[in-house]
Each structure stands twice: as C-alpha cells, then as structure tokens.
Chains A and B, each alone.
Chain A
Amino acid sequence: MKVFGDTVHFIALLSTTDRWHARAIAINRQSPGALVTTEWVLTEVGDAFSHPTARQKFIRLLQLLKLKGNKRMWRSFHLQVICSAAVRTFIPRDYKEARNSASQVMSLVKPRNAKGRVILARGPNPGSWKSEDVRLT
C-alpha cells in the first residue's frame, strides 16, 4: 500500500507542540506503506518552517526524504514538468480551497495515479483528524 504524506503530517511531525505530534510519530513508527508526496506539499511545508530557527530542520527533512525517496519522486515532480503538463498529468483536489497563495495552490495538486491512504488528514470537525483513502484516477 502507498501512503500519501500531506502537509498536515509533516508539520505535525516536526512541531513538538502540535496537538497531532504524537499521532504523527505513531504513524511514522508504523511506516504503514511506501511514502508518496509531491514537491508542492514540500513547498508548503517549507513555507511553514521558513523561520530562520526552523529552516535547518526542514532542510534536514528534505535530505531524509531524498535518501528514502525513489527517482520517480525526485524527477517526476519538478516544477517545470508541472507547468507544462499539469492538465494532462495532474488533477487538483479542490481549487475552491486554494485562494490565497501559490504554495497553497501547488499543495492541492496530487498525482493522477495516486492511490492509497493519506496518513494524516484533517477530519470533518475542528480538532479531529482522520486517515483518508485517495483514489484520483
């Protein structure tokens, strides 16, 4: 099974004061499947940890993902590819959600062939979380 690492998960994992931090750690300890994410999600995570005191932690996260990632992740998701072939290759989750910034718009784009489970997503009610199956074919 593939699992999708979304912005919520990476933020909760790094931020020690986050209310979902323990949940993110538990997920990581399980490593429930092959991790999939996109550069757009990582762009938003970089936005979240852009403060000088947090930046090095984000860079280390990238290094670890790169060590663990396969070549598809690191070669298929370049911004140049997205811009020229976005319509063919990618579909948005929900453009209505994205109204304010480029990194948010980008983070909402998922690979068309993504199947599996979003490991940590926001639930229907404030404060609630869920794991969410995704099938975007």
Chain B
Amino acid sequence: MSTQEIIRELTKLDRDELAQVDLKLHELLEEKIRTGGRSWGEALLEVAGTVAGLPPDYAENHDHYLHGLPRR
C-alpha cells in the first residue's frame, strides 16, 4: 500500500482510531530518530553561527538587550 493510499484510508477512521494512529506514528518516529536519525544537537548545528553582528554578550545579557534590565 502506498503512502497516499494509507493517507486516504485515514479519512475513514473515527476520532479514537485516529488518536491511536497518531500515538503509533509518534512512537515510530521517535524510534527512527533514536536508531537512525541525527540527534537534536547535530540537527541544530545547521543554524549554528548563522547570525552575525550581535554583541558578544548577547546570550548572557539578553535580559538587558531584550527587556531593558541592567547588565549582569
């Protein structure tokens, strides 16, 4: 059965049945991530260092830059 056929079949399910499918899907996805996918850390490295021009203490003093609190 193709992916599109499975998706079409899903429309025939009631709410409880869809909830069961939803639960199973997430179990399977989490299993895939654990066994074969990239970790969250590796995945987020894609955006690491992509923003330039911010102050060197932006993380530490974000309360100051974002909210106006005194620097630490």
Contact = CB atoms under 8 A, between A and B. Distances in A.
Contacts, number: 129
A25 B45 contact: yes
A22 to B, nearest CB: 10
- The winner among B55, B56, B57, B59 for most chain A CB atoms within 10 A is B59
Contact of A57 (B33, B45, B50): B50
Given A8-B62, A67-B43, A101-B66, A19 B56 contact: yes
Interface residues of B, number: 36
A118 interface: no
Nearest to B29: A70
A19 B57 contact: yes
A16 to B, nearest CB: 4
Given A19-B60, A28-B41, A60-B46, 17 more contacts: A9-B59, A11-B58, A11-B59, A14-B50, A15-B52, A19-B56, A28-B40, A28-B44, A49-B51, A53-B51, A65-B40, A68-B40, A70-B26, A99-B69, A101-B67, A103-B66, A120-B59
13 contacts: A11-B62, A17-B55, A18-B57, A20-B59, A25-B48, A28-B44, A35-B41, A54-B51, A57-B51, A64-B44, A68-B33, A68-B40, A126-B60
